[in-house]
Copies of this chain bind each other. A is one copy, B any other.
Amino acid sequence: MINVGVLGATGAVGQRFVQLLADHPWFHIQALTASERSSGKLYGNVVQWRMDTPFSDHAGKTVVTPTTVESVKDCDIVFSALPPEIAGKVEAEMADAGIGVCSNARSHRMDPDVPLVIPEVNPDHLGLIDVQRDKGRDGFIVTNPNCSTIVLAMALAPLRRFEFHDVRVATMQAISGGGFQGVSAMDIYDNVVPYIGAEEEKMETETLKIMGTFDGSRIADASFRVSASCHRVPVIDGHTMAIWVDVKESVDEVKKAYASFKSPLSNLPLQPAKPVELLEQPDRPQPRLDRNRGRGMTVSVGRVREGLRFVAMGHNTIRGAAGASVLNAELIYTKKYL
């Protein structure tokens, strides 16, 4: 078993990590870190648990430690659910100290030497780990995309065989994307909020890095353009998005591309049978009905119609956050980077 830690283990994404790691076949929770206030206490006594399955006995009895290099020195991998204002510095320190950091924070996503990875889309970008090591880092930082970016990038991946230049995306994002306390009920109930801070910029830049080309030393961004309009809607989990792509191919050819899309990988515990699933019913995907496909790791695509337009939807705190990081760690482990 690989020893792992979760940084920021009491928040919304942190709890997802603890839930997903509960009975993981490869990874064993060795450290759970949180703010000073919780340090020294049992995780089960300090966490305000909000997942719909209970935390494991092991997690509940783990003593929470502060978010320091010392706390995770026995971990091979740490999963970071830290807020960006903290993540940048701590993650770098841990990576320099020899620890593998799989981060959901945005701090290092756009760093030239840091891979921004979706295993089914750009696993080769993990090669940047070697670049980090060549520069003297003992561990590494690998990041996963923002929760809305990952849905878009996975929905575009099967279309890479076609030529396109112009992507428009209007999102309808779930409230869990803002964390447990991030969105007040008075703000979002019976309402749509047409603004999520920095979200459009993330979708417009991260997508190009993910779908860019790695030549062994650096990533060349993809050359298409993404124009995003991001909105919060009253949905608990699951980001839905309307997407236009200027591919020239027919609806049938696009559907075939979706139907035949397969992961280049196999045998990762958290990987779903279908990373991208094409739904043919006229009114799908829907977040409440489809967000748990593939245990929350499948991105659903539907309503492919001329234009070329379609709708994509994925679980924002599983595929879009904690699950993405754990899947990255699984890939890293099989690729012998530990």
Name the interface size band of chain A.
35 or more
Which B residue sits closest to A175, measured CB to CB?
A: B185
Question: A30-38, A186-194, A251-259: which lies at the B interface?
Answer: A186-194
Report whether B184 and A180 are in contact in the complex, using a CB–CB cutoff of 8 Å.
yes
Report whether B288 and A170 are in contact in the complex, using a CB–CB cutoff of 8 Å.
no
Task: Give A181 to B240 CA distance when docked, in angstroms.
Answer: 24
Report whether B227 and A172 are in contact in the complex, using a CB–CB cutoff of 8 Å.
no
Among A170, A188, A307: residue with most chain B CB under 10 A: A170
Report whether A244 and B231 are in contact in the complex, using a CB–CB cutoff of 8 Å.
no
| Known A194-B242, A303-B194, A303-B195: A234·B189 in contact at CB below 8 Å | yes
Task: Give A337 to B133 CA distance when docked, in angstroms.
Answer: 70
Task: Give A289 to B195 CA distance when docked, in angstroms.
Answer: 14
Please tell me if A218 contacts chain B, counting CB pairs below 8 Å: no
Among A178, A179, A229, A309: residue with most chain B CB under 10 A: A229
User: Residues of A with Cβ closer than 8 Å to B?
Assistant: 12, 50, 52-53, 168, 170, 172, 175-176, 178-195, 227, 229, 231, 233-236, 238, 240, 242, 244, 282-289, 291-292, 302-303, 307, 309, 311, 313
Provide a sorted-by-A list of 13 A–B residue pairs whose CB atoms are within 8 angstroms: A12-B186, A168-B168, A170-B242, A175-B189, A180-B187, A185-B185, A189-B288, A193-B283, A194-B240, A194-B311, A195-B282, A229-B309, A231-B242
